[in-house]
Amino acid sequence: MGEIDKEIVKFLVESGIDFVCSVPCMLLKGILEEIEKTNLRHVRVNREEEGVGVCAGAYLAGKKPALVIQNSGLGNSINALLSLTKFYRLGLFILMSHRGDKYEKIKAQVPMGEATPKLLKLLNIEYAKVTEPNQLFLIKNLVKKAFKEEDIKAVLLSRSLWL
């Protein structure tokens, strides 16, 4: 897989993430393959909200979990993110591919793609948008913050990273 995928997973591991739940996305293909090569405990869930639940359990048991999903899955997860993760103050890092931005070819992705940054703000989820490889260090910063503050932090990965 590409260097960028290796680098992203390296940042995840180095920042202390030790448990991952994922739902696939075309953009995340390489990242998910790289995750399988590490010692990270990786649970493939069917729906993003389910991953929020599994990550919550992992956090309760002392892990530092990450949810690796497409931004469309944010919509599937909102209730659990607020009434479970935020309400109990559980740490969670979300690595999210950002479909439906200016590079998108599939029109159905656009409404959620445009809403995603606004939704994150509305939900009071701090995030960074990563468009270039030299911004990947933001993953480390936000992972640290997620577990220090026991809150949800997210990174939106732009398609431009793979162009």
Quote the CA–CA distance of 37 and 33 in Å, as a whole number.
7
Please check whether residue 65 is in contact with residue 93, taking contact to mean a CB–CB distance below 8 angstroms.
yes
Tell me the closest approach of the beta carbon of residue 40 to another protein, in angstroms. Answer: 12
Min. distance of Cβ 103 from another protein in angstroms? 30
Edge to edge, what strands does the sheet with 19-22 contain?
A: 41-44, 19-22, 65-70, 92-98, 152-158, 126-130
Q: Which is nearer to another protein, 124 or 141 (CB)?
A: 124
Output DSSP code: residue 107.
G
Buried/exposed code over 92-104 (b: 16+ C-beta within 10 A; e: otherwise): bbbbbbbbbbeee
Among 11, 19, 93, 147, which residue interacts with another protein (rule: CB under 8 A)? 19
Closest approach, Cβ 46 to another protein, in A, equals 3
Binding to another protein by residue 49, rule CB under 8 A?
yes
Least spacing, CB of residue 151 vs another protein, in Å: 12
Residue placing its CB nearer to another protein in the complex, 85 or 158: 85
Binding to another protein in span 53-92, by CB under 8 A: 53-63, 65, 79-80, 82-84, 87-90
